[in-house]
Amino acid sequence: MATIPLVERELSAKELSVRPVVWTIAGSDSGGGAGIQADLLTLHDLGCHGCSVITALTAQNSVAVTAVEPVSAAMLNAQLEALKADLYPSAVKIGLIGNQQQLEFLADWLGDNLPGVPVILDPVMVASCGDGLQSREEAPETDDVKGKPCLDFSPFVGKISLITPNKAELARLTGELLADDDALVIAADRLWQRFGGSVLAKGGDCPWQQPRAKDLLLLGDIPTISPLHRRQGFWLSGERVATAHNHGSGCTLSSAIAAFVARGLVLPDAVLLAKAYVFEGLRQASAVGKGPGPLARTGIPESLTAMASIYPLHESRSHRLPTKGFTRLGRNLGVYPVVADIDMLEALLEAGAKTIQLRIKGEIGPGSPAEADIIRAIELGRQYQARVFINDHWRLAISYGAFGVHLGQEDVDTVPLDAIAEAGMALGLSSHGLFEALLALELHPSYLALGHIFPTTTKEMPSKPQGLETLALLTKIVSTAVPTVAIGGIEAGNLPKVAATGVDNIAVVRAVTEASDPAAAFRALADAWENRNAR
Ligand SMILES: Cc1ncc(COP(=O)(O)OP(=O)(O)O)c(N)n1
Ligand SMILES: Cc1nc(C(=O)O)sc1CCOP(=O)(O)O
Ligand SMILES: [Mg+2]
């Protein structure tokens, strides 16, 4: 075989920034609905440059797979080396693997050549039409889905970020017979313990899940998400789409996850967006041949109705939902300063702040100066007819009749939200990314904070800055349901760009507290925000 010359040149920032490169290592579907073809369509649709490493040719149409032929080891290697030399990936999706030899080679090659690159493994074994997809020696036709796995995936242990089996694949991978959610949880957990990384056990082919289908997401030890959600399990529950046109849905899901990861989203956010993408793709799918048609390509999902509902594996949602709602707020809260000092709080109210937060960290003892500050802040709120939120200290806020409380995600499981709602108060909740935003929305807060947008020195953050593009997307998704507040690194210089995302409000700490004249800094920000659409 001719060798392809290695390209060795520095890429310009512009070249690198255009579309993140994602590889799909998978089989070709001659029918164009699944495999490499579905992946490349998905990757392009989601703003990535898709590269393909073909593991096997399949002869198939929308009703049957008639032949499968794995490529040679040399050809597989040549494709990988050619791409590595010029088109290094930001993420990799693996789909159909032609045989055990390929699998072992791939696991070694990826470990040696792409350290640190996120790998999404869709352990494809059965096509949606029911035909086996490995070559005949690997998967005899008599194989039952709960029988022996046709491939041994153990060489991938410790090397993948996420594995996405459907029920049939999970049954084969674990040797478990799956007939209800309890069995699904046990099998997914077993896979999770064995593979490391994260597991998405898909429920679309679980007949007992009606009327909604639930995927089980078991998150690995992901350093860029809140410690609260690391190594935790969540159900992602979504409406079933009544369509026969679902060819390539698993391929589309896994390549969409890879696309969103390559675009810089953390894994749980990428999974949610990819699920919404598949949901929209199914809703708009139509026939091409005589059998199930392919999914439609509908771009980055922006609608809340396409998003799954999330609830923790070990907790019922009803347990967390207050029976009475929190105070409803209008969209416009004004520029929202967050301060620790009571005199500054008063000065900012005097300067016209209509929403403000007192954020005193740490324990507050009875009769302490900090308690006196909270009492005073609540009184000042009444005096100035402003919305004063108390951060963290919900008991004092309830006792002294505050307008509202601001809580973080870590507080939600321990604070009796019912008590806040029953006291007729407002609740602001923090979120860092789509996963946390959707979790928070389940509680119907009065506003939702979207943070942190830019790097901040005010607080140590486990998450990455969201940036303006993600802020715009999050705003589109959630703002039909709740007023939004952007926070983190916002100041006069970046205010116009933040405003352009469409977020309803901004909250600031240093832009006001570190100004030589905080009241004047607040007035300037408030003025710029009010006139944001006038330029
Ligand atoms: C408006 C607003 N948004 C986010 C936060 C952060 O709150 P939380 O996550 O509770 O973290 P701490 O502020 O307690 O460190 C906020 N305070 N205000
Ligand atoms: C208190 C706080 N919470 C954040 C979050 O993302 O939840 S960011 C943040 C600090 C914001 O400070 P500054 O305006 O000085 O960057
Ligand atoms: Mg807090």
Same domain, 125 and 273: yes
Same domain, 57 and 124: yes
Same domain, 51 and 105: yes
Q: What is the pLDDT, as a whole number, of residue 144?
A: 37
Nearest atom of ligand 2 to the alpha carbon of 456: 16
Same domain, 455 and 517: yes
Ligand index nearest the alpha carbon of residue 451 = 2
Q: Does ligand 2 have an atom closer than 6 angstroms to the CB of 458? A: yes
Other beta carbons within 10 angstroms of residue 108's beta carbon come to 12
Q: Exposed e or buried b for every residue in 422-446, given b needs 16+ CB within 10 A?
A: ebebbbbbbbbbbbbbbbbbebbbb
Binding residue per annotation — 354? Answer: no
Q: What is the pLDDT, as a whole number, of residue 131?
A: 52
Q: What is the pLDDT, as a whole number, of residue 150?
A: 76
Q: Cα–Cα distance between 203 and 455 in angstroms, integer?
A: 38
Nearest atom of ligand 2 to the alpha carbon of 489: 16
| pLDDT band, very low/low/confident/very high, at 6 (cuts 50, 70, 90) | very low
Binding residue per annotation — 202? Answer: no
Give the amino acid at 50. Answer: G
Q: Cα–Cα distance between 245 and 263 in angstroms, integer?
A: 28
Q: What is the pLDDT, as a whole number, of residue 140?
A: 36
Average pLDDT, the chain: 92
Same domain, 463 and 358: yes
Same domain, 280 and 360: no
Residue 251: CATH number of its domain:
3.40.1190.20
Q: What is the pLDDT, as a whole number, of residue 534?
A: 86
Pocket test for ligand 1, best of 358, 410, 430 (most atoms within 8 A of CB): 430
C-alpha count within 13 angstroms, C-beta hemisphere, residue 120: 31
Q: Does ligand 2 have an atom closer than 6 angstroms to the CB of 459? A: yes
Q: What is the pLDDT, as a whole number, of residue 527?
A: 98
Binding residue per annotation — 360? Answer: yes
Of 260, 279, 309, the residue that ends a domain is: 309
Number of domains into which the chain is organized: 2
Task: Report, as an integer, the average pLDDT of 128-137.
Answer: 50
Q: Please indicate, yes or no, if residue 222 is contained in any of the structural domains.
A: no
- Atom 7 of ligand 1: nearest residue by CA position: 408
Q: Cα–Cα distance between 404 and 164 in angstroms, integer?
A: 41
Task: Report, as an integer, the average pLDDT of 54-80.
Answer: 96
Q: Please indicate, yes or no, if residue 60 is contained in any of the structural domains.
A: yes
- Distance from the alpha carbon of residue 384 to the mean position of ligand 3, in angstroms: 24
Q: Cα–Cα distance between 531 and 197 in angstroms, integer?
A: 47
- Distance from the alpha carbon of residue 262 to the mean position of ligand 2, in angstroms: 26
- Which ipTM was obtained for this model? 0.97
> Domain range holding 302?
18-158+242-309
pTM here is 0.93
Same domain, 136 and 87: yes
Share of the chain above pLDDT 90, in %: 87
Q: Please indicate, yes or no, if residue 315 is contained in any of the structural domains.
A: no
Same domain, 277 and 355: no
Q: What is the pLDDT, as a whole number, of residue 17?
A: 57
Of 309, 337, 353, the residue that ends a domain is: 309
Residue 492: CATH number of its domain:
3.20.20.70
* pLDDT tens-digit map of 391-423: 999 999 999 999 999 999 999 888 999 999 999
Asked if 422 and 441 touch (Cβ cutoff 8 Å), the reply is: no
Select the more confidently predicted residue: 13 or 526: 526
User: Can you give the length of the chain in residues?
Assistant: 535
- Atom 4 of ligand 1: nearest residue by CA position: 430
| pLDDT band, very low/low/confident/very high, at 315 (cuts 50, 70, 90) | confident
* R_g (Cα) of the chain, nearest Å: 26
Find tokens 């390209």 and name the residue: 7
Residues in contact with ligand 1 by the CB-under-6-Å rule are 336, 338, 357, 359, 391-392, 406-408, 428, 430, 449, 451, 459, 485, 487, 507
Ligand index nearest the alpha carbon of residue 408 = 1
